[in-house]
Amino acid sequence: MSVIEKSQSISANEPAKALWISTVAFTLCFAVWTIFAIIGIRIKQDLGLSEAAFGLLVGTPVLTGSLVRIVLGIWTERYGGRLVFTLTMLAAAVATFLLSYAHTYAQMLLAGLGVGLAGGTFAVGIAYVSPFFPAEKQGTALGIFGAGNVGAAITKFAAPFVLLAWGWPAVAQIWAGVLALMAVIFWFTTTDDPAFRHRQQNGRAPKSLAKEFAPLKNLQVWRFSLYYFFAFGGFIALSLWLPRYLVGVYGFNLETAGMVAAAYSIPGSIFRAFGGAVSDKKGARSVMYVMFAVAAVATLILSFPAATSTSTGITPAVFIVVIFGLGFVMSLGKAAVYKHIPAYYPDSVGAVGGVVGMMGGLGGFVLPIAFGYLKDMTGLWSSCFLLLFAIIIVSLVWMHLSVKQIERRSLSAQSVAAT
């Protein structure tokens, strides 16, 4: 019996309302989470930051927003997604507003810790939205919610105009104001999720921390985490790395490179909803196989040197077509990974979803650093794609061996039952 069937108070329109309001809220949270991608450039100029200091500034919200996901996921299970989502948005809005009054690098890093809370709302939303839907529709629902990643493109498109008109503090203040308003709207237009209501109605005490973390002992959780490290972390890393890559390899100007990166992030976000629907219809495992197969071919192609006036290689047109194809299948994979979680761990979506989301976010923090390190070591811009190719192969082999092991166990169980 599903959570929805257990709760007699849920109305017909509640699932749709919860999904769409949560998706809008997460879109705005993601726009705030990536605010340093734009205002960080002006801050770097104003403070005269080194590349390392700039990288830490941009990466701080990504890091903290990833690490906090497991805590927020567990709090969602205990206190309900409506409350945790609202308070997290308000806290992130306050930190973003205070950022506009920061004058030193240390103050900006401290504010960045709070801004990072906005990224943590992903774990809250997953645990909040999934109980509204039966298992056969959860992939689609979570795919739509995850499409809120498109908030990064909103910041990349809109923030430069605000920055040029009124300065970077205005960007922080406006983004904070919009997020605070969304928190109020969210609180007054949504209800508690069915799982939380069911626990409240039956007077069930919250699970102990030991039980909350018990599923994390399963190697399967960390296998899902590796998938998401590539699908989400790799996607975020490429979104951040693309402008530098296009300028360094093909000589694009910064404006053009930035627009290509913004355009890359849009389909890579909105097609996540399509990935969820396909996962519901064809199965998440099939989608994962397709993602890894196509991504392996794409990264292998992109690992070849770029074309120059004196040699043949990957031309800018070929590069853009292949990178967009890679982003497309990564968006499908992001949805497929989260289709697994409520199916395998229906009573621990907060904890498991938080860990998987944390690892994905850490990928977005670690991989750009690794890309730069490989470039410095090898002198090859395309070395970043060789690293992604290696991650894909490890993930694909691990997944395939695990699937075969599950199939063998199933056959053994059927043989025993037949005797």
The DSSP code sequence of 163-229 is HHHH-HHHHHHHHHHHHHHHHHHHHHH----HHHHHHHHTTPPPPPHHHHHGGGGSHHHHHHHHHHI
Answer whether residue 86 is part of any domain: yes
What is the CATH classification number for the domain harbouring 43? 1.20.1250.20
Residues 404, 328 share a domain? yes
Answer whether residue 263 is part of any domain: yes
The pLDDT score that the predictor gives to residue 339 is 84
Phi, psi of 272 (to 5 degrees): -60, -35
Answer whether residue 1 is part of any domain: no
Among 201, 234, 263, give the residue marking a domain's end. Answer: 201
Residues 104, 18 share a domain? yes
The domain total for the chain is 2
Residues 310, 376 share a domain? yes
Residues 33, 181 share a domain? yes
Residues 153, 66 share a domain? yes
Q: Structural domain of residue 150, as residue ranges?
A: 13-201
Q: For 67-118, what is the HEC assignment?
A: HCHHHHHHHHHHHCHHHHHHHHHHHHHHHHHHHCCCCCHHHHHHHHHHHCHH
Answer whether residue 33 is part of any domain: yes
Residues 267, 123 share a domain? no
Residues 224, 267 share a domain? yes
Answer whether residue 6 is part of any domain: no
Answer whether residue 379 is part of any domain: yes
Residues 336, 381 share a domain? yes
Among 201, 226, 257, give the residue marking a domain's end. Answer: 201
Query: pLDDT means per 10 residues in the chain (419 residues)?
Result: 46 85 94 87 85 78 87 86 95 96 93 93 88 83 84 82 90 96 96 81 66 76 92 86 82 78 76 84 90 95 80 85 91 87 77 84 85 86 93 95 83 53
